[in-house]
Amino acid sequence: MGTAVSGICELAPGVPEADYSAIEQRRSAAGLGLEMAESTGEPGEVMALPLQYLVLSQAIGHSFHYRCDLGAGRFSGQGMPLDFVLVMPNAHTWCQINNPHRLRFLGIPLSLARHLLDRSQDDPLDFGVLHTRHNRDPFIAHTLEALWQELARHDRTSQLFLETAVASILARLERLSEQAREHQVCNGGLTARQSARVLDYMREHLAETIALSELAGLVGLSPWHFARAFRQSHGLPPHRYLTRLRLEKARELLEHSQFSITDIAMMTGYSSQHLARHFRHHLGCSPREYRRLNGH
């Protein structure tokens, strides 16, 4: 098996690292560098290294539940037949699928994608929100099937057909990405990528004082515009959302760790008195009472 196909199929949970017998079929077009493969897998989890490909992964067969990070933040969902996800190029990825599944992969070399989209050779090929959700588009679903069938042929017209089909998929991805951005602007909220960056930062700095200007700077907005956009996206002002994250972390530590309440308060950015006050306000009990009722 070629290195490219091996790398692409390493994105599939349930495919043994050293044994690609779970790869049912693989097809390629050497002239264009295109790679496609179909795999079967059992429930599993996988972390994959960055690839020099733009990869579409399409669900085929039965539906399945999954969680993943394809380079732009974690999300979860139910993969339905013909839905697809889009892996960011040059990104470390993680995926966990909870059910037996079948997947079809298309790997487009970055140089070919940039050429067909008329982008510079250092363009990251970032399609925004499409990397943060599973997507459903009849045109892409049917074109992936047509590509798969055409890759089994080797006549004079194949090269033209394949290049045209890939160009059409890339143009459709660009259009879907533009439509998603326009929708975000109309709604006045943060983009999915902006939200993921801010929430990850909050979680990583729970023990510290986090200023509104600090969060706004992460996404290049003024504090006023950031606060408005954050509330539009998440239904709470940033400081109240941060309180919720801190309480969630404190509850987790009270339930599953042996840390003292004083240590847990420090780890979540509070003094013991402030943590107790927030617990009584939001949960109706003290941290000590919560641990007694919920600890293991």
Averaged pLDDT for residues 199-212:
92
Of the candidates 46, 43, 32, the residue with the CA atom closest to the CA atom of residue 4: 32
Q: Give me the helices (H) in the chain, please.
A: 3-9, 110-117, 138-150, 158-187, 192-204, 212-218, 223-234, 238-256, 261-267, 272-283, 287-294
Domain with CATH 2.60.120.280 in the chain: 3-184
For the domain 192-294, what is the CATH superfamily, name and number? Homeodomain-like (1.10.10.60)
pLDDT at 53 over 70: yes
Beta bridge partners of 41: 101
Q: Compare 86 and 294 and report the one with higher pLDDT.
A: 86
- C-beta of residue 240 within 8 angstroms of C-beta of residue 246: no
pLDDT of amino acid 201: 93
Listed range (116-120, 181-185, 195-199) with the worst mean pLDDT? 181-185
* pLDDT band at residue 3 under the 50/70/90 scheme: very low
pLDDT of amino acid 8: 65
pLDDT at 180 over 80: no
Domain with CATH 1.10.10.60 in the chain: 192-294
What is the end-to-end Cα distance of the chain in Å, rounded?
49
pLDDT at 125 over 90: no
pLDDT at 16 over 80: no
Please give the angle made by the CA atoms of 42, 48 and 53, to the nearest 5 degrees.
110
- C-beta of residue 49 within 8 angstroms of C-beta of residue 57: no
pLDDT tens string 126-153: 888 888 888 989 999 999 999 999 998 8
Average pLDDT, the chain: 85
pLDDT tens string 226-235: 888 888 888 8
Tell me which CATH code domain 3-184 carries.
2.60.120.280
* pLDDT band at residue 6 under the 50/70/90 scheme: low
pLDDT of amino acid 183: 59
Q: What percent of the chain has pLDDT over 90?
A: 36
pLDDT of amino acid 224: 82
pLDDT at 184 over 60: no
What angle separates helix 192-204 from helix 238-256, to the nearest 10 degrees? 50
Residue 287's φ and ψ, nearest 5 degrees, are -55, -40
Look up the pTM and report it: 0.60
Q: Compare 126 and 2 and report the one with higher pLDDT.
A: 126
Distance separating alpha carbons of residues 70 and 73, to the nearest angstrom: 7
